[in-house]
């Protein structure tokens, strides 16, 4: 019985990890390609949730989940074109300040547009409930989310590793000057990467809105965890981030099982251990352009 | 800070003298300001959380307090003196205490008012006591604020944890025989939750109910799925929530997501958390100090005025903040003073206050608790309401009309509260 229960927590942790992954993957991509630590990433997650609540009134639940990330991804294009683009080659402290400021502006903008009180959002009745497999219990909705995340993940992997688009992006991560010398402009690629990262974060917000409090500071809440995941996974590594997200989820689930009070602290302890053993993170790669 | 430390080697005796003279001059300059303040506006240092897990409630509190100040000033002020509300985010106990100190010392606040977090309220209360200024603790509900940690300078307006447990308990006993029933509690891991849990345990003991599991949950936890899995393993008759702020909303949404069959009750809920949970997620019986559907002419008129100003329904923290400011305005008008000793004497005198309920309220002199009616409410069945704002239904006024108001409050006999200290 205890063993089953532990297993249940492990699987539940995997689902949670999938959700962290949606936010962490974009964060990692934007850093790898542009060298920018995007502190405004959480804001896009929050915007995704708010856009979902607003749009699901008109388009229904599934329409909201689908349209909200698209709308926010379009915002992401503007964000890259008018703000991020100016900071790729600047001192990282500048982009840190700008994105931090932007996160504050976004949070206040949300307060001004939607008010500071949390917004109501519910799951449609048919998506509620649990799947019971023998002694194990899983939330139906979370299993669906896990499936969606797995498909998206596969899509992103294929895009980065099996397409010419991906080859340019990966080359750009390592050596942007060489890419430029070959006559390829990295800018449109950057726009796409930011759009993708921001869209994934917004999708996370939209999918989680029905099962978490939709409030203006929700972006700041998730950003810390996303950073922990990126740091544990190692910068520039797709699979590093994937492993780290799932690991953080599982470690939290298992900690709740044994020491409930330590569940929040567990991921920081994990980060400490990983960084002591592997300072670059689990699968962190050497990124040539950051080494000088 | 670092600047002065680095330069400290250069601080000569002459510099020190100059500084000293400056300080003396500043003190002299300060004197006339204090004299003028007595006839000028009464400054209220209003602290309430606007960020963090209770942050979504603070906005409602500011709106309620602002409406009261606006109405009082429009009516000629409190005993002829205008009120000036200085609202700030208290953030957490450390920041709350620092800001309270600054409001009293530098901003010239005549007294402090506000707060929702019991932990921050304790910190502010210490600052108020040290400065011998009154602190009207509006929203915190921990029993300890009325017990071991009560203070001569602090008054509490919201219903304490024991009263909330009694309100829900009374309603629950009317619906079901709870003797022998198994309860599983989830508790917010800070002073408020601990305190609510002990009140809940006392209630279970009194009624022969069984507490089969309890989880303490950190206030920043947003994913409750591991706890929901634990609940299922424990298989209780009731899931009982002693959570606070966003925790309630998060849990309630995720509990509906998993669709477990155990009925939910709770000993703490704010209307805003219920609204934020969304339609179809919340169920069960809960306590409240006030709900916008309360059927008295005064309460209905308040709801209308609030809606006219803000375009939305007031939440219980808006109401209690409004009431607290009104109480202070009455105290200032009746005593003709905003000085703490006068206000304490007046509030301790048993003066009656109209709190829009069927019976008037008064402060109990022994522990400075506002004695007023409380309510239990239930959530209507999913699908039987159009809008989340119609979801809640007042089910019982506690105590009943034939019982003494004090009967739901913690007893002060041989109590832990010693106001003389």
Domain ranges of chain B: 42-159+294-372, 162-288+374-405
Same fold, B42-159+294-372 and B162-288+374-405: yes
CATH topology for B162-288+374-405 is Rossmann fold (3.40.50)
- pLDDT of B420: 66
Query: Which ranges of chain A have pLDDT less than 70?
Result: 1, 289, 291-292
The helix (run of H) or strand (run of E) holding residue B89 is strand B83-89
Rounded Cα distance between A256 and A264, Å, is 9
Cβ distance A248 to A267 under 8 Å? yes
List Cα–Cα distances, A98 to A43, A74, A201, B351, in angstroms. 13, 20, 19, 55
Instruction: Please indicate whether, in this complex, the C-beta atoms of B253 and A261 are within 8 angstroms of each other.
Output: no
Instruction: Please indicate whether, in this complex, the C-beta atoms of A121 and B278 are within 8 angstroms of each other.
Output: yes
Instruction: Please indicate whether, in this complex, the C-beta atoms of B232 and A120 are within 8 angstroms of each other.
Output: no
Instruction: Please indicate whether, in this complex, the C-beta atoms of A211 and B254 are within 8 angstroms of each other.
Output: yes
CA B314 to chain centre: 15
Q: Is B300 exposed, middle or buried (0-12, 13-18, 19+ CB in 10 A)?
A: middle
User: Residues B344-352: contacts with CB within 8 Å, 24+ apart?
Assistant: B344/B134, B344/B152, B344/B153, B347/B155
For chain A, say whether B55 makes contact (Cβ under 8 Å): yes
For chain A, say whether B230 makes contact (Cβ under 8 Å): yes
- pLDDT of B100: 97
For chain A, say whether B278 makes contact (Cβ under 8 Å): yes
**Residues 6 or more apart whose Cβ sits within 8 Å of residue B236:** B182, B183, B184, B212, B213, B262
Q: According to the 3-state scheme, what is the secondary structure of chain A?
A: CHHHHHHHHHHHHHHHHHHHHHHHHHHHHHHHHHCCCCCCHHHHHHHHHHHHHHHHHHHHHHHHHHHHHHHHHHHHHHHHHHCHHHHCCCCHHHHHHHHHHHHHHHHHHHHHHHCCCCECCCCCHHHCCEEEECCEEEEHHHHHHHHHHHHHHHHHHHHHHCCHHHHHHHHHHHCHHHHHHCCCCCHHHHHHHHHHHHHHHHHHHHHHHHHCCECCCHHHHHHHHHHHHHHHHCCCCHHHHHHHHHHHHHHHHHHHHHCHHHHHHHHHHHHHHHHHHCCCCCCCCCCHHHCC
Tally Cβ neighbours within 10 Å of residue A45.
Answer: 29
- Facing residue for B55 by CB, picked from A12, A217, A264: A217
Rounded Cα distance between B297 and B316, Å, is 17
Cβ distance B113 to B157 under 8 Å? no
Instruction: Please indicate whether, in this complex, the C-beta atoms of A16 and B229 are within 8 angstroms of each other.
Output: no
> Which two three-digit tokens encode residue B157?
């307006």
CA atoms within 13 A on the CB side of A273: 10
Q: Which of residues 165-224 of A touch B (CB under 8 A)?
A: 210-215, 217, 221
**Residues 6 or more apart whose Cβ sits within 8 Å of residue B402:** none
User: What's the start-to-end Cα distance of chain B, in Å?
Assistant: 36
Rounded Cα distance between B307 and A22, Å, is 40
- pLDDT of B12: 45
Is residue A1 one of the residues assigned to a domain?
A: no
Contacts of A212 in chain B (CB under 8 A): 222-223, 250, 253-254
Is residue A277 one of the residues assigned to a domain?
A: no
Total domain count, chain A: 1
For chain B, say whether A136 makes contact (Cβ under 8 Å): no
Contacts of B222 in chain A (CB under 8 A): 212-213, 221
Is residue A262 one of the residues assigned to a domain?
A: no
Cα nearest neighbour of B51 on chain A: A217
Cα angle, residue B105 at apex, residues B104 and B111 outer, rounded to 5°: 15
Is residue A161 one of the residues assigned to a domain?
A: yes
Instruction: Please indicate whether, in this complex, the C-beta atoms of B216 and A260 are within 8 angstroms of each other.
Output: yes
Contacts of B313 in chain A (CB under 8 A): none
B9 DSSP assignment:
G
Tally Cβ neighbours within 10 Å of residue B192.
Answer: 29
- pLDDT of A286: 73
For chain A, say whether B254 makes contact (Cβ under 8 Å): yes
Q: What is the pLDDT along chain B (421 residues), one digit of tens a residue?
A: 334 333 343 444 444 444 444 444 444 444 444 444 456 899 999 999 998 889 889 999 999 999 999 999 999 999 999 999 999 999 999 999 999 999 999 999 999 999 999 999 999 999 999 999 999 999 999 999 999 999 999 999 999 999 999 889 888 888 877 889 999 999 999 989 999 999 999 999 999 999 999 999 988 888 899 899 889 989 999 999 999 888 999 999 999 999 999 999 999 999 998 898 888 889 889 999 999 999 999 999 999 999 999 999 999 999 999 999 999 999 999 999 999 999 999 999 999 999 999 999 999 999 999 999 999 999 998 888 888 899 999 988 889 888 999 989 988 876 789 886 4
The length of chain B, given as a count of residues: 421
Contacts of A215 in chain B (CB under 8 A): 55-56, 246, 276
Task: Assess if CATH 2.60.40.10 describes domain B42-159+294-372.
Answer: no
Rounded Cα distance between A221 and A257, Å, is 23
Label the pairing between strands B392-398 and B374-379: antiparallel
- The parent domain of residue A110 ranges over 13-215
Give me the interface pTM, i.e. the ipTM: 0.88
For chain A, say whether B390 makes contact (Cβ under 8 Å): no
Contacts of A1 in chain B (CB under 8 A): 233
Is residue A286 one of the residues assigned to a domain?
A: no
- pLDDT of B242: 93
Q: For A41, list phi and psi in degrees, rounded to 5.
A: -60, -40
For chain B, say whether A125 makes contact (Cβ under 8 Å): yes
Is residue A56 one of the residues assigned to a domain?
A: yes
Is residue A61 one of the residues assigned to a domain?
A: yes
The helix (run of H) or strand (run of E) holding residue B207 is none
For chain A, say whether B218 makes contact (Cβ under 8 Å): yes
- Facing residue for B259 by CB, picked from A129, A215, A217: A129
For chain A, say whether B233 makes contact (Cβ under 8 Å): yes
Is residue A111 one of the residues assigned to a domain?
A: yes
């Amino acid at each position: 019985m205890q063993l089953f229960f532990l297993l249940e927590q492990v699987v539940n942790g995997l689902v949670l990890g999938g959700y962290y992954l949606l936010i962490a993957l974009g964060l990692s991509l934007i850093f790898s390609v542009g060298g920018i630590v995007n502190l405004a990433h959480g804001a896009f997650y929050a915007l995704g949730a708010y856009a979902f609540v607003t749009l699901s009134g008109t388009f229904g639940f599934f329409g909201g989940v689908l349209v909200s990330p698209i709308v926010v991804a379009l915002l992401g294009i503007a964000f890259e074109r008018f703000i991020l683009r100016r900071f790729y080659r600047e001192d990282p402290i500048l982009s840190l300040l700008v994105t931090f400021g932007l996160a504050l502006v976004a949070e206040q903008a949300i307060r001004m547009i939607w008010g500071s009180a949390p917004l109501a959002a519910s799951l449609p009745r048919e998506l509620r409930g649990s799947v019971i497999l023998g002694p194990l219990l899983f939330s139906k909705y979370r299993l669906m989310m896990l499936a969606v995340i797995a498909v998206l993940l596969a899509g992103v992997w294929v895009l980065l590793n099996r397409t010419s688009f991906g080859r340019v992006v990966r080359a750009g991560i390592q050596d942007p000057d060489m890419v430029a010398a070959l006559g390829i402009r990295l800018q449109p690629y950057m726009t796409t990467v930011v759009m993708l990262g921001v869209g994934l974060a917004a999708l996370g917000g939209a999918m989680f809105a029905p099962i978490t409090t939709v409030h203006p500071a929700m972006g700041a809440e998730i950003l810390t965890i996303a950073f922990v995941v990126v740091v544990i996974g190692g910068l520039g590594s797709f699979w590093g981030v994937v492993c780290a997200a799932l690991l953080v989820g599982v470690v939290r689930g298992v900690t709740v099982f044994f020491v409930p009070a330590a569940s929040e602290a567990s991921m920081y302890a994990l980060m400490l251990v990983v960084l002591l053993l592997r300072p670059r993170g689990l699968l962190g790669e050497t990124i040539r352009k950051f080494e000088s | 800070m670092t600047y002065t430390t680095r330069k400290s080697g250069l601080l000569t005796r002459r510099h020190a003298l100059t500084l000293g003279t400056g300080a003396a001059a500043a003190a002299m300059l300060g004197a006339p300001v204090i004299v003028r303040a007595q006839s000028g506006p009464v400054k209220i240092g209003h602290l309430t959380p606007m960020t963090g897990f209770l942050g979504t409630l603070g906005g409602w509190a500011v709106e309620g307090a602002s409406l009261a100040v606006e109405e009082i000033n429009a009516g000629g002020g409190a005993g002829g003196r205008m009120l000036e509300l200085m609202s700030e985010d208290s953030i957490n106990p450390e920041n709350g205490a620092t800001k309270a100190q600054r409001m009293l010392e530098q901003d010239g606040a005549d007294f402090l008012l506000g707060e929702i977090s019991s932990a921050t309220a304790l910190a502010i209360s210490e600052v108020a006591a040290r400065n011998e200024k009154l602190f009207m603790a509006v929203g915190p509900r921990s029993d300890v604020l009325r017990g071991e940690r009560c203070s001569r300078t602090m008054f509490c307006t919201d219903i304490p944890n024991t009263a909330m447990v009694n309100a829900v308990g009374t309603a629950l006993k009317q619906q079901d025989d709870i003797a022998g029933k198994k309860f599983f509690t989830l508790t917010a891991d800070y002073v408020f939750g601990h305190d609510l849990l002990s009140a809940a345990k006392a209630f279970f003991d009194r009624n022969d109910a069984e507490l089969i599991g309890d989880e303490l949950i950190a206030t920043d936890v947003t994913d409750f799925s591991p706890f929901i899995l634990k609940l299922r393993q424990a298989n209780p008759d009731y899931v009982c929530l002693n959570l606070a702020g966003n925790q309630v909303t998060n849990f309630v949404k995720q509990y509906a997501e998993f669709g477990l069959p155990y009925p939910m009750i709770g000993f703490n809920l704010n209307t805003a958390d219920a609204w934020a949970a969304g339609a179809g997620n919340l169920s069960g019986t809960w306590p409240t100090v006030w709900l916008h559907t309360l059927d008295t002419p005064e309460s209905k008129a308040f709801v209308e005025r609030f809606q006219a100003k803000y375009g939305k329904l007031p939440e219980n923290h808006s109401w209690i903040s409004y009431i607290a400011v009104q109480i202070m305005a009455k105290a200032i008008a009746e005593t003709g003073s905003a000085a703490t000793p006068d206000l304490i004497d007046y509030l301790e005198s048993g003066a009656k206050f109209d709190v829009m309920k069927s019976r008037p309220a008064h402060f109990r002199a022994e522990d400075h608790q506002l004695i007023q009616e409380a309510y239990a409410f239930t959530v209507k069945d999913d699908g039987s309401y159009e809008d989340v704002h119609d979801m809640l239904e007042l089910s019982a006024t506690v105590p009943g009309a034939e019982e003494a108001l004090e009967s739901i409050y913690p007893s002060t006999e041989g109590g832990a509260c010693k106001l003389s200290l």
